[in-house]
A and B are shown apart, each in its own frame.
Chain A
Amino acid sequence: MRRAALTLAALALALAPTTAVAQDCPKTTLGDIEDEVMCPVCGTPLGLASEAPQAQDERAYIQQLIDRCKSKDEVKRALVAEYGENVLALPGDEGDDDLGDVLVYVIPALGIVLAAGGIAFAVVRWRRPEAPGRPLAGADGARLDDDMERYDL
């Protein structure tokens, strides 16, 4: 019994530092960051710039930071220090919350709403049967009848 308790205690001691480090070490992955940062030279999100040497270099740098237990935010901050704010792919990531960041989200949403409204309006009009035209009356009607007879239509 005593031996078992000692073994358990030794095991707990052996595991304790690992657990503590694992808890202190913020985990993120390259795949998680790739979609949120740009490859500045390629002009595309890093996730789309697969073969470009600059992208590979940037990935290696991110991986180094991840291996050093940096969190996603810390990695992004380090990337901004190296490449400037243009490296951030998501609007609002810069933290300045300017009007442009809001508009980036609002304008596409507004566009979608307007397009959907336009399509709905067009469909409704297209499906509505056309009202029969009023017969011409008076002099216009007589002239039309004359023309129809003359051209034998």
Chain B
Amino acid sequence: MRRVLSPVPIAVICVLGALIALLAYGLAQNEPDRGVDEALARGEREPAPSLELPKLGGGGSASLADYRGQVVVLNFWASWCKPCKDESPLLERWHRRMRDRGGTVLGVDMLDVTGSAQEFIDEYDLTYPMLKDKDGEGLERFGVVQYPETFVIDRQGRIAAVQRGPVDDDFMQRSVAPLLARS
């Protein structure tokens, strides 16, 4: 004989199912996008996502497309981040080295207080252009999950290298110098 479940267990099962689905959705949403890393591991270069943000300290906005034709070292940082402080002098040295060879460092200050960011820039005497990502838009597009992260973008606007964490001179020599040599 067929036994029919009463409405209460059916409702409980439905609610549990909905909760599990919600949990799975939440986990999937929080999973960082690692498409760039996978493409680089295959030896491919993906086009960099478009990015247009206000300049830090005002004066309009700038986009990644404005730098097309240049080698761009796109560095995501924040003033309260200790490893960002450690790598800043190196990035500044590389910016000075790159700017006459068709390259630039482009800083993106993420989820940060503008005053603190400005103090950071003054303290480390940073001269490269800076954008402000106040609500994490760029962070999401580039799949940034830690501080700092750096993307090396070639002259064709493709991501040629990624560093999750602070950069060092070895990374810059290996990833940036060969791109500068090609004009």
Contacts and interface: CB of A to CB of B under 8 A. Distances in A.
B142 to A, nearest CB: 15
B136 A54 contact: no
17 contacts: A40-B136, A41-B111, A54-B78, A57-B112, A57-B116, A58-B113, A61-B115, A83-B135, A84-B134, A84-B136, A114-B11, A115-B15, A118-B8, A118-B11, A121-B8, A122-B8, A125-B8
Contacts, number: 48
Interface of B: 6-8, 11-12, 15, 78-82, 110-116, 134-136
Contacts of B134: 81-84
Interface of A: 40-41, 53-54, 56-58, 61, 81-86, 114-115, 118, 121-122, 125
Contacts of A86: 135-136
Please report whether the interface of chain A is mostly helix, strand, loop or mixed according to DSSP. helix
A22 B110 CA distance: 36
A81 B54 CA distance: 12
A89 B113 CA distance: 18
A53 B112 CA distance: 11
B52 to A, nearest CB: 15
B80 A56 contact: yes
